[in-house]
Amino acid sequence: MRIVTRTLMVFPAALVGCRENNADSAAAPTRTLSSISPHLTRTLTPALARERLGAPDVETGSGLIIYRYRLQSGDTLSLGFPGYAPITYAQLVRVDGTRADLPLR
């Protein structure tokens, strides 16, 4: 009986946390590729990306840090960093799943 009680107490808290994250995420897709493109330079680091573009919608990677930003168009911008060093790639993942490498200035 104790296990069921704990599960029921934790589950609503998890739902509340999800709603808060979704509310924050809903505001994020005001980014456009044209507004982000000027920041895609070879000197961009994870810290500078957070400063200039805001917190990523998704952060992943193991050894390689990958930031993913949802764009207003529904596309996703992926930025790859070797640890905290400057960027190694920028890639646009379109809604249809196709990918395009973006140039770094």
Contact call for residues 80 and 65 (beta carbons, < 8 A): yes
What pLDDT digit, counting tens, does each position of 26-62 carry?
Answer: 444 589 999 999 999 999 999 999 999 999 999 998 8
Tokens 């640890």 — which residue? 83
Contact call for residues 82 and 93 (beta carbons, < 8 A): no
Predicted TM-score of the model (pTM): 0.72
Give the residues across from 92 on adjacent strands. 77, 100
pLDDT of residue 23: 37
**Residue 91 phi, psi dihedral angles, 5° rounding:** -140, 135
Please give the share of the chain, as a percent, with pLDDT higher than 90.
Answer: 69
Where along the chain do its domains lie?
A: 1-28, 31-101
Q: What's the length of the chain?
A: 105
